[in-house]
Chain A
Amino acid sequence: MAWRLRLAPEKTNIDFFRHQWLTFGGSMALMIVAFIAWGVMGLNYGIDFKGGTTIRTESVNAVDVAGYRAALERLPLGDVAITEVFDTNFAPDQHVAQIRIAALEQTDAVSPETITQVQEALKAVDPQITFTAIDSVGPKVSGELVWSSVMAVAATSVGILLYIWLRFEWQMAVGAVLALLHDVFITIGIWAVFQLKFDLTIVAALLTILGYSINDTVVVFDRLRENLAKYKTMPLRDVMNLSVNETLSRTLMTSITTLIAVGSMLVFGGDVIRGFAFAIFMGVLLGTYSSVYVAKNLVLFIGLDRSEKPKGGKGAADHEFANIDA
Chain B
Amino acid sequence: MPHTPLWKRILIWGVVLIGIAFAAPNLFYGRVEQHNDARDAAEKAGFTTAEQQAQIDLWPDWLPSGLVNLGLDLRGGAHLLAEVQVQDVYKTRMDSLWPEVRDSLRTLRDQVGAVRRQPSPDGTLKVAIENPAGLEAAVQAVKALASPVVSLTGAGQNDLEVTVEGNDIVIQLSEAEKVATDNRTMAQSLEIIRRRVDEAGTREPTILRQGTDRILIEVPGIGSAAELKELIGTTAKLTFNPVVRRTSNQSEDPGPRNRLLPAMNEQGVYYVIEDAPVVSGDDLIDSQPTFDQNSRPAVSFRFNTTGARAFGDYTAQNIGAPFAIVLDNEVISAPTIQSHIPGGSGQITGNFTVDEANQLAVLLRAGALPAKMNFLEERTIGPELGADSIAAGSKAAVIAMIAVSVFMIAAYGLFGVFATTALAINMALIFGVLSAIGGTLTLPGIAGIVLTIGMAVDANVLVYERIREELRQAKSPMRAIELGYERAFSAIFDANVTTLITAGVLFFIGAGPVRGFAVTLAVGIFTSVFTALYVTRAIMEIWMRWRQPKTIVV
User: In whole angstroms, how far apart are the Cα atoms of A226 and B462 in the complex?
Assistant: 15
A219:B385 contact, CB within 8 angstroms = no
B493:A326 contact, CB within 8 angstroms = yes
A326:B489 contact, CB within 8 angstroms = yes
Known interface pairs A257-B407, A326-B493; A262-B454 also in contact (CB < 8 Å)? yes
A134:B509 contact, CB within 8 angstroms = no
Known interface pairs A112-B226, A138-B376, A211-B502; A273-B384 also in contact (CB < 8 Å)? no
**Is B225 close to A, CB under 8 A?**
yes
Known interface pairs A138-B375, A215-B498, A257-B408; A268-B395 also in contact (CB < 8 Å)? yes
**Is B455 close to A, CB under 8 A?**
yes
User: In whole angstroms, how far apart are the Cα atoms of A256 and B400 in the complex?
Assistant: 12
B458-496 interface mask toward A, CB cutoff 8 Å, 1 = contact, 0 = none? 100110010011001000000000000001011101111
B407:A89 contact, CB within 8 angstroms = no
Known interface pairs A10-B472, A110-B375, A201-B514; A264-B385 also in contact (CB < 8 Å)? no
**Is A282 close to B, CB under 8 A?**
no
Cross-interface CB contact of B396 among A269, A280, A325, cutoff 8 Å: A269
Cross-interface CB contact of A325 among B399, B490, B509, cutoff 8 Å: B490
A218:B377 contact, CB within 8 angstroms = no
A249:B465 contact, CB within 8 angstroms = yes
When distances are taken between beta carbons in the complex, the residues of chain B under 8 Å from A276 are 444, 447
**Range for the number of chain B residues in contact with chain A:** 35 or more
B553:A151 contact, CB within 8 angstroms = no
User: In whole angstroms, how far apart are the Cα atoms of A200 and B506 in the complex?
Assistant: 11
**Is B374 close to A, CB under 8 A?**
yes
When distances are taken between beta carbons in the complex, the residues of chain A under 8 Å from B411 are 4-7, 253
User: In whole angstroms, how far apart are the Cα atoms of A201 and B516 in the complex?
Assistant: 12
**Is A40 close to B, CB under 8 A?**
no
**Is A229 close to B, CB under 8 A?**
no
Question: Could you tell me how many residues of chain A have their Cβ less than 8 Å away from some Cβ of chain B?
Answer: 83
When distances are taken between beta carbons in the complex, the residues of chain B under 8 Å from A264 are 396-397, 399-400, 403, 450
Known interface pairs A2-B413, A110-B378, A208-B521; A215-B499 also in contact (CB < 8 Å)? yes
**Is A164 close to B, CB under 8 A?**
yes
Which of B28-36, B61-69, B291-299, B386-394 has 4 or more CB atoms under 8 Å from chain A? B386-394
Known interface pairs A138-B375, A219-B491; A254-B509 also in contact (CB < 8 Å)? no
User: In whole angstroms, how far apart are the Cα atoms of A25 and B395 in the complex?
Assistant: 41
Cross-interface CB contact of A156 among B395, B469, B501, cutoff 8 Å: B501
When distances are taken between beta carbons in the complex, the residues of chain A under 8 Å from B497 are 163
When distances are taken between beta carbons in the complex, the residues of chain B under 8 Å from A152 are 505-506, 509-510
**Is B113 close to A, CB under 8 A?**
no
A283-295 interface mask toward B, CB cutoff 8 Å, 1 = contact, 0 = none? 0000000000000
B224:A250 contact, CB within 8 angstroms = no
A276-313 interface mask toward B, CB cutoff 8 Å, 1 = contact, 0 = none? 11001000000000000000000000000000000000
**Is A37 close to B, CB under 8 A?**
no
Q: How many A-B residue pairs have CB under 8 A?
A: 252
Known interface pairs A167-B494, A222-B490, A264-B396; A109-B461 also in contact (CB < 8 Å)? no
Known interface pairs A109-B374, A268-B396; A258-B455 also in contact (CB < 8 Å)? yes
User: In whole angstroms, how far apart are the Cα atoms of A208 and B389 in the complex?
Assistant: 21
User: In whole angstroms, how far apart are the Cα atoms of A204 and B514 in the complex?
Assistant: 7
When distances are taken between beta carbons in the complex, the residues of chain B under 8 Å from A73 are none
User: In whole angstroms, how far apart are the Cα atoms of A238 and B451 in the complex?
Assistant: 34
User: In whole angstroms, how far apart are the Cα atoms of A122 and B395 in the complex?
Assistant: 32
User: In whole angstroms, how far apart are the Cα atoms of A216 and B454 in the complex?
Assistant: 13
When distances are taken between beta carbons in the complex, the residues of chain A under 8 Å from B381 are 132-133
B458:A132 contact, CB within 8 angstroms = no
| Nearest neighbor of A214 in chain B, beta-carbon distance | B498
**Is B517 close to A, CB under 8 A?**
yes
When distances are taken between beta carbons in the complex, the residues of chain A under 8 Å from B410 are 4-5
**Is A197 close to B, CB under 8 A?**
no
When distances are taken between beta carbons in the complex, the residues of chain A under 8 Å from B395 are 89, 268-269
User: In whole angstroms, how far apart are the Cα atoms of A161 and B311 in the complex?
Assistant: 65
A109:B521 contact, CB within 8 angstroms = no
**Is B243 close to A, CB under 8 A?**
no
**Is A265 close to B, CB under 8 A?**
yes
A257:B491 contact, CB within 8 angstroms = no
**Is A79 close to B, CB under 8 A?**
no
In the complex, what's the smallest C-beta–C-beta distance from A235 to chain B, in angstroms?
22
When distances are taken between beta carbons in the complex, the residues of chain B under 8 Å from A256 are 407
In the complex, what's the smallest C-beta–C-beta distance from A269 to chain B, in angstroms?
4
A259:B454 contact, CB within 8 angstroms = yes
Cross-interface CB contact of B450 among A148, A159, A218, A269, cutoff 8 Å: A269
Known interface pairs A10-B472, A112-B229, A207-B506; A219-B377 also in contact (CB < 8 Å)? no
When distances are taken between beta carbons in the complex, the residues of chain B under 8 Å from A268 are 392, 395-396, 399
When distances are taken between beta carbons in the complex, the residues of chain B under 8 Å from A118 are none
When distances are taken between beta carbons in the complex, the residues of chain A under 8 Å from B81 are 141
**Is A66 close to B, CB under 8 A?**
no
**Is A58 close to B, CB under 8 A?**
yes
A260:B403 contact, CB within 8 angstroms = yes
A254:B224 contact, CB within 8 angstroms = no
Main secondary structure on chain A at its contact with chain B? helix
Known interface pairs A160-B501, A207-B505; A258-B451 also in contact (CB < 8 Å)? yes
User: In whole angstroms, how far apart are the Cα atoms of A56 and B395 in the complex?
Assistant: 22
When distances are taken between beta carbons in the complex, the residues of chain B under 8 Å from A326 are 489-490, 493-494
A270:B498 contact, CB within 8 angstroms = no
Query: Quick one: which of B503-549 are within 8 Å of A by CB?
Result: 503-506, 509-510, 513-514, 517, 521
Cross-interface CB contact of B83 among A1, A108, A265, cutoff 8 Å: A108
**Is B382 close to A, CB under 8 A?**
yes
A156:B502 contact, CB within 8 angstroms = yes
**Is A126 close to B, CB under 8 A?**
no
A277:B499 contact, CB within 8 angstroms = no
When distances are taken between beta carbons in the complex, the residues of chain B under 8 Å from A200 are 510, 514
When distances are taken between beta carbons in the complex, the residues of chain B under 8 Å from A226 are 487
In the complex, what's the smallest C-beta–C-beta distance from A284 to chain B, in angstroms?
8
B458:A254 contact, CB within 8 angstroms = yes
B377:A138 contact, CB within 8 angstroms = yes
A109:B499 contact, CB within 8 angstroms = no
B375:A261 contact, CB within 8 angstroms = no
In the complex, what's the smallest C-beta–C-beta distance from B54 to chain A, in angstroms?
33
**Is A69 close to B, CB under 8 A?**
no
A209-242 interface mask toward B, CB cutoff 8 Å, 1 = contact, 0 = none? 0111011101101110010000000000000000
| Nearest neighbor of A152 in chain B, beta-carbon distance | B509
**Is A130 close to B, CB under 8 A?**
yes
**Is A16 close to B, CB under 8 A?**
no
User: In whole angstroms, how far apart are the Cα atoms of A70 and B444 in the complex?
Assistant: 35
**Is B379 close to A, CB under 8 A?**
yes
When distances are taken between beta carbons in the complex, the residues of chain B under 8 Å from A41 are none
User: In whole angstroms, how far apart are the Cα atoms of A240 and B553 in the complex?
Assistant: 28
A140:B376 contact, CB within 8 angstroms = yes
When distances are taken between beta carbons in the complex, the residues of chain B under 8 Å from A138 are 374-377
17 A-B residue pairs with CB within 8 Å:
A4-B412, A58-B384, A108-B83, A132-B382, A138-B374, A138-B377, A152-B510, A163-B498, A208-B502, A211-B498, A211-B501, A212-B499, A215-B496, A222-B494, A257-B454, A268-B396, A326-B489
Q: Which residues of chain A have a CB within 8 Å of any CB of chain B?
A: 1-2, 4-7, 10, 56, 58, 87, 89, 108-110, 112, 115-116, 130-138, 140-141, 148-149, 151-152, 155-156, 159-160, 163-164, 167, 200-201, 203-204, 207-208, 210-212, 214-216, 218-219, 221-223, 226, 246-247, 249-250, 253-254, 256-262, 264-265, 267-270, 272-273, 276-277, 280, 325-326
Q: Which 4 A-B pairs have the closest CB atoms?
A: A261-B454, A270-B392, A211-B502, A258-B454
* 14 additional contacts (CB under 8 A) given A110-B376, A155-B509, A254-B461: A1-B553, A134-B380, A137-B376, A164-B498, A203-B514, A211-B501, A212-B499, A218-B498, A222-B491, A222-B495, A254-B455, A257-B407, A258-B454, A265-B451
